[in-house]
Chains A and B, each alone.
Chain A
Amino acid sequence: MKVFVGMSGGVDSSVSAALLVEQGYDVTGIYMKNWSRDLPGMKCPWAEDLADAKRVAVKLGIPFEVWDFEEAYREKVVEYMLREFQAGNTPNPDIMCNQEIKFKLFYEKAMERGADFIATGHYARTGSLSEVATPVLLRAVDENKDQTYFLYRISNEALAHTIFPIGEMLKPDVKKLAEEKGLHNAYKKESMGVCFVGEVGMKDFLKEYIDVKPGEIREVETEKILGYHEGAIFYTIGQRHGLYISGNKGEINDGMPYYVVKKDLPKNIVYVSKNLNHEAIWTKELKLKDVFLRMGSDTAFSLSSPSSVGSSQTASLVREAQISVRLRHRAPLIPAKFDGETLYFEQEIKRPASGQSAVLYDGEICLGGGILL
Chain B
Amino acid sequence: MDARVLKAMEPYFLRDFFNPSAAYLPAKKVAAEYETAKGIIAHAIGAKASDLVITAGATEANNLAFTALNTGILYLETEHDSVRKAAEQHGGEAVRVLSNGVIDLNDLKTKITDEAQLISVSLVNNELGTIQPLAEIAGVIREVKIDRLKRGVKRQLLLHSDASQALNLLDINVARLGVDLLTLNSAKIYGPKSVGALYVSHDVHLSPLTYGGGQEKGLRAGTENVPGVIGFAKAVELAKEHLNGNRKKYTLWRKILLSELQDYELINKKHMLDNFVVLCYNGLDAERLIYLLEDREVYVSTGAACAASKGQKSHVLKAIGLSDEQIAGSLRLTFGEANNEEQIHEAARIINEVVTNEKRRLGR
- A residues bordering B, Cβ < 8 Å? 36, 46-48, 50-51, 54-55, 58-59, 61, 64
Residues of B with C-beta under 8 A to A55:
291
A191 and B287 CA atoms in complex are apart in Å by: 24
For the complex, is B257 an interface residue (Cβ under 8 Å from A)?
Answer: no
Residues of B with C-beta under 8 A to A58:
287-288, 291-292
Known A-B contacts: A47-B309, A47-B310. Give 8 more (CB < 8 A).
A36-B311, A51-B287, A54-B287, A54-B288, A58-B287, A58-B288, A59-B291, A59-B292
Residue among A50, A58, A61 facing the most chain B CB atoms (10 A cut-off): A58
A130 and B31 CA atoms in complex are apart in Å by: 85
B351 CB → nearest A CB, Å: 15
For the complex, is B361 an interface residue (Cβ under 8 Å from A)?
Answer: yes
B295:A50 contact, CB within 8 angstroms? no
B299 CB → nearest A CB, Å: 14
A59 and B310 CA atoms in complex are apart in Å by: 21
Interchain Cβ contacts under 8 Å between A and B, 18 examples: A36-B311, A46-B311, A47-B309, A47-B310, A47-B311, A48-B309, A50-B311, A51-B287, A51-B311, A54-B287, A54-B288, A54-B291, A55-B291, A58-B287, A58-B291, A58-B292, A59-B295, A61-B361
Residues facing A in B275-294 (CB within 8 A) are: 287-288, 291-292
A149 CB → nearest B CB, Å: 31
A59 and B309 CA atoms in complex are apart in Å by: 19
Nearest neighbor of A38 in chain B, beta-carbon distance: B310
Contact of A51 among B292, B295, B309, B361 (CB under 8 A): B309
Q: Mark B184-224, 1 if CB is under 8 A from A, else 0.
A: 00000000000000000000000000000000000000000
A356 and B71 CA atoms in complex are apart in Å by: 53
Residues of B with C-beta under 8 A to A59:
291-292, 295
B277 CB → nearest A CB, Å: 22
Nearest neighbor of B294 in chain A, beta-carbon distance: A55
B285 CB → nearest A CB, Å: 8
A50 and B295 CA atoms in complex are apart in Å by: 19
A47 and B311 CA atoms in complex are apart in Å by: 5
Residues of A with C-beta under 8 A to B291:
54-55, 58-59
Residues of A with C-beta under 8 A to B309:
47-48, 51
Residues of A with C-beta under 8 A to B361:
61
Nearest neighbor of A55 in chain B, beta-carbon distance: B291
Nearest neighbor of B292 in chain A, beta-carbon distance: A58
Chain B's interface size range is under 10
A54 and B291 CA atoms in complex are apart in Å by: 9
B148 CB → nearest A CB, Å: 42
Residues facing A in B325-364 (CB within 8 A) are: 361
B212 CB → nearest A CB, Å: 24
A46 and B292 CA atoms in complex are apart in Å by: 21
Residues of B with C-beta under 8 A to A50:
311
Residues of A with C-beta under 8 A to B310:
47
A46 and B312 CA atoms in complex are apart in Å by: 12
A131 and B309 CA atoms in complex are apart in Å by: 52
Q: Mark B46-88, 1 if CB is under 8 A from A, else 0.
A: 0000000000000000000000000000000000000000000
Nearest neighbor of A49 in chain B, beta-carbon distance: B311
Q: Mark B284-322, 1 if CB is under 8 A from A, else 0.
A: 000110011001000000000000011100000000000
Residues of B with C-beta under 8 A to A54:
287-288, 291
Residues of A with C-beta under 8 A to B311:
36, 46-47, 50-51
Closest A-B pairs by Cβ, 3 of them:
A47-B311, A58-B291, A55-B291
A228 and B34 CA atoms in complex are apart in Å by: 54
A48 and B309 CA atoms in complex are apart in Å by: 6
A206 and B288 CA atoms in complex are apart in Å by: 37
Residues of A with C-beta under 8 A to B292:
58-59
A284 CB → nearest B CB, Å: 51
Q: Mark B105-144, 1 if CB is under 8 A from A, else 0.
A: 0000000000000000000000000000000000000000
B291 CB → nearest A CB, Å: 4
B72 CB → nearest A CB, Å: 30
Residues of B with C-beta under 8 A to A51:
287, 309, 311
B30 CB → nearest A CB, Å: 37
A52 CB → nearest B CB, Å: 10
Nearest neighbor of A58 in chain B, beta-carbon distance: B291
A107 CB → nearest B CB, Å: 25
Q: Mark B238-251, 1 if CB is under 8 A from A, else 0.
A: 00000000000000
B81 CB → nearest A CB, Å: 14
Residues of B with C-beta under 8 A to A36:
311
A46 and B309 CA atoms in complex are apart in Å by: 10
Residues of B with C-beta under 8 A to A48:
309
A315 CB → nearest B CB, Å: 49
A231 CB → nearest B CB, Å: 32
A107 and B35 CA atoms in complex are apart in Å by: 65
B282 CB → nearest A CB, Å: 18
Residue among B287, B295, B309, B311 facing the most chain A CB atoms (10 A cut-off): B311
B178 CB → nearest A CB, Å: 39
A59 and B290 CA atoms in complex are apart in Å by: 11
A39 CB → nearest B CB, Å: 15
Nearest neighbor of B309 in chain A, beta-carbon distance: A47
Nearest neighbor of A48 in chain B, beta-carbon distance: B309
A58 and B311 CA atoms in complex are apart in Å by: 17
A354 and B333 CA atoms in complex are apart in Å by: 56
A36 and B311 CA atoms in complex are apart in Å by: 10
A61 and B291 CA atoms in complex are apart in Å by: 11
Nearest neighbor of A46 in chain B, beta-carbon distance: B311
Residues of B with C-beta under 8 A to A46:
311
Nearest neighbor of B310 in chain A, beta-carbon distance: A47
A34 CB → nearest B CB, Å: 14
A92 CB → nearest B CB, Å: 28
A220 CB → nearest B CB, Å: 49
A110 and B309 CA atoms in complex are apart in Å by: 27
A64 CB → nearest B CB, Å: 8
A51 and B292 CA atoms in complex are apart in Å by: 13
A61 and B361 CA atoms in complex are apart in Å by: 8
A45 CB → nearest B CB, Å: 10
A253 CB → nearest B CB, Å: 42
B294 CB → nearest A CB, Å: 8
Nearest neighbor of A47 in chain B, beta-carbon distance: B311
Residues of A with C-beta under 8 A to B288:
54, 58, 64
A295 and B311 CA atoms in complex are apart in Å by: 42
Nearest neighbor of A64 in chain B, beta-carbon distance: B288
Residues of A with C-beta under 8 A to B287:
51, 54, 58
A36 and B291 CA atoms in complex are apart in Å by: 23
A48 and B291 CA atoms in complex are apart in Å by: 14
A155 CB → nearest B CB, Å: 31
A48 and B308 CA atoms in complex are apart in Å by: 10
